[in-house]
Amino acid sequence: MKKSSIKTILVVTIFAIAMAFLESVIVVYLRKIYYPSGFNFPLSSIDPNILAIEWIREFFTIVMLISVAILAGKKFIDRTAYFFYAFAIWDIFYYVWLKVILNWPSSFLTWDLLFLIPWPWDSPVLAPIIYSIGLIILSLCILHCYDKNQNIKFRTKEILLFVVGSLVILYTFLIDYGKLIFLNNFTSQFLTLAPNNDFQNIISNYIPQDYNWPLFIVGEILILISIYLFYKRNKK
């Protein structure tokens, strides 16, 4: 890999680690307010105004990661790689900083609230970390091949494998609270769920139990096949 690429990766890494620290600090504050005894399920009821701010914050978190990727790369493919890389480093170091600050999570199998858009995502901490490691591998493969040939492209099969694999993993993150919404007929009230007392009562009594590891593994295998096919075809 070229020295210029290594330098750019280093800068993006520093940015993502610093951004992860800011993210973890915000979570520390929120946990002090809503989980004074330490974070755990079931979820506490959050003020709708604070929840709206959290949605916006999460949206702009992605905007920031996209922005640094655009600055780091020159074409769509290497910018995509830098976005994946920044996202993955940010996600992993978010947990590193929480461990440093709060000594949390207690293990890789500790359940966490991952995201709030469009509804709460949940899984053991290990799942998003594994997915992020896959993104790091993919992004470095792209950047390595891009340095040798700036005209590299993904083939349709490779894109489909990655997208389907990612959607399968996303499903495992979304399914728990998605079931609560759809099976309890809250879909028509989706935009007003935050202040909905009936929905909040269900949330406040729900504790996730079983994560769909077999489906997650299927998603990861599809992603790894996509990476393998791309790298094998472009490494020379």
Stated pTM of the model: 0.94
Average pLDDT over residues 123-136: 98
Residue 191, pLDDT above cutoff 80: no
Other beta carbons less than 10 A from residue 228's beta carbon:
14
- Listed by start position, the domains of the chain span 3-234
Q: Report, in angstroms and rounded to the nearest whole number, the Rg of the chain calculated over CA atoms.
A: 19
3-state DSSP assignment of residue 189: helix
Q: Which pair of structure tokens corresponds to residue 16? A: 């993502």
Q: Which pair of structure tokens corresponds to residue 5? A: 């690429």
Residue 24, pLDDT above cutoff 90: yes
